[in-house]
Amino acid sequence: MKINRYLFFFIFSTPVIIFQAALVCKLYYMFNYDINTFIIFSQALISAIFSSYLLKAAILKILSNEKIDGTFINIKNEYKSIKLTAFYCLVSIGLIFIASRNGVMDYKAYLNHWAIINQGLDPWIGTDNAYLPIHNIFAPLAVINNSLPKFVFVCIFAIPMYLSSISPLNFKRELDTFSKIRIFSVFAFSPFCLLTIAYYGLNDTPVAGLIVLSLYLSLSNNTKQNSLLSGISLALATMIKVYPVFIAPLFILRKKRIDVNFFTSYFLSIISILFTSIIIWGNSTLNPILYAADRHSKHLSFFNFFRRIVGINLDEYSLFAMGLVLLIVLFFIYKNKIDLLPAVILTLAFAFTFYKVGHPQFFLFFFAVSPMMIRYIYDKKLMKNGRLFISFLMWICFLNFYQTFYALSCHMFHGLPNYLRGLGSLPYILFSILMLIEIVKLLKKDPKALSSKSISS
């Protein structure tokens, strides 16, 4: 088999892009923003487009070469290339950790929050801490080394992502092992992922990993133990950031049956965590839930477009709109008996679209779950529906483009990149609508296409 050049160019270019972003921004700040913003814009745009093109091309190349029996594969060469790539990625991640050891963006705030906790003080009084109690348990690690909590974040993210990418699930049709490893590599070592988890070290990293772990446990084996562990995992994610609560109903009510084990472990875990936190820090534990209501719209939320470009501030309606849309989506999911995996993706995609704080890092989950979703699509024989798969892939590629451009343009704070902050939601919504149209067309043709009782499967 020919070497997938797109795959290797993509993976090997990712650390280069990250160090490019660090260097450009260092020079930009050093010269007090006196560098021509068009130069900043141009290099960011070209690199972001190039990276996202390679992502799309690499995935399509992997799937076009995939054969179930794997007889075409030179196993020795495959293992050699995998080892070389893994070594390169590990070294690169280590260097990224070193480059960001003092904290970048939100991670600096995390270090301050953890320092307050380590002093025995309340992390929610006199701070901008918008996170729930599980975020606080990483504080002792920060005493040992600033980057240690970030390292744990990466482990919590990478292990479930790898398991869900490679390990057996209840699929009748499977990709070959090397194809699954390649697909995992593309998403795990994309600029979106490495920027979010290794460079910025954002706490959406463990949240995404724990959601994927819940999905993996629920889909691998329908046992009492897995349901209990899945509930605990999603509860831990919810107690870092609240948004996993939006998908809890999908785990609880599946195939018109209530999963009592998941329900029990999920809610008991949340109650136990909140109760323990209230004993330690008091009612300030609940401050983060109220904090979100006071934030203004950003990035990929269409509320941001209306506020920044149109000049109409609709932020106050965000929570109402999101609640209404989630109810409609849940009704749509249960009416069409959509399987858990696509249901979770649809629900979170709509939630993030209508939540006014549309930070790119919220979308990290979609990169973590994409290898498992591609396995699902392959199992359902939905690869034949090229328009549906391409619409999903283009949606992912745009997210990678936006996060890459964001980093390379020094976080879109000045000049033309800053203006584009208000426009970013438009292409995102366009790609989302195109994907939604293809899903509706698919379900119109086969109402059970995304159900375990699909006609096509």
Dist. CA 423–CA 305, nearest whole Å: 6
Tokens found for residue 134: 């599980």
The phi and psi torsions of 67 (rounded to 5 degrees) equal: -135, 135
Q: What is the per-residue pLDDT across 305-326, written as a single tens digit (0 to 9) for each?
A: 888 888 888 878 888 888 899 9
User: Alpha carbon 223 to chain centroid distance?
Assistant: 27
Q: Which residues of 162-192 are buried (b: 16+ CB within 10 A; e: fewer)?
A: bbbbbeebeeeeebbebbbbbbbbbbbbbbb
pLDDT above 90: percentage of residues in the chain: 47
Dist. CA 254–CA 264, nearest whole Å: 15
Give the pairing type, strands 257-258 and 253-254.
antiparallel
Residue 453 pLDDT: 58
- Confirm whether pTM is higher than 0.95: no
Q: What is the per-residue pLDDT across 10-56, written as a single tens digit (0 to 9) for each?
A: 988 999 999 998 888 888 777 765 566 788 888 999 999 999 999 99
Give the pairing type, strands 253-254 and 357-358.
unpaired
The total of other beta-carbon atoms located within 10 Å of residue 100's CB is 21
Q: What is the per-residue pLDDT across 133-173, written as a single tens digit (0 to 9) for each?
A: 999 999 999 999 988 999 999 999 999 999 999 998 888 88
Dist. CA 45–CA 51, nearest whole Å: 10
**Could you tell me which residue, 454 or 209, shows the higher pLDDT?**
209
**pLDDT at residue 193 is higher than 70:** yes
Dist. CA 136–CA 247, nearest whole Å: 23
Q: What is the per-residue pLDDT across 262-294, written as a single tens digit (0 to 9) for each?
A: 999 999 999 999 999 999 888 888 877 766 666
Band of residue 95 on the pLDDT scale cut at 50, 70, 90: confident
**pLDDT at residue 78 is higher than 60:** yes
Tokens found for residue 365: 């989950």
- Beta-carbon contacts of residue 352 (< 8 Å; ≥ 6 apart): 243, 300, 301, 358, 362, 363
The total of other beta-carbon atoms located within 10 Å of residue 335's CB is 10
Tokens found for residue 100: 């960001």
3-state secondary structure (DSSP) of residue 254: strand
Dist. CA 209–CA 222, nearest whole Å: 20
Q: What is the per-residue pLDDT across 339-379, written as a single tens digit (0 to 9) for each?
A: 999 999 999 998 888 888 778 899 999 999 999 999 999 99
Dist. CA 441–CA 444, nearest whole Å: 5
- Beta-carbon contacts of residue 433 (< 8 Å; ≥ 6 apart): none
**pLDDT at residue 77 is higher than 70:** no
The position carrying tokens 């939604």 is 436
Tokens found for residue 281: 């820090």
pLDDT above 70: percentage of residues in the chain: 93
Residue 295 DSSP symbol:
P
Residue 423 pLDDT: 83
The phi and psi torsions of 257 (rounded to 5 degrees) equal: -125, 140
Q: How many residues does the chain have?
A: 457
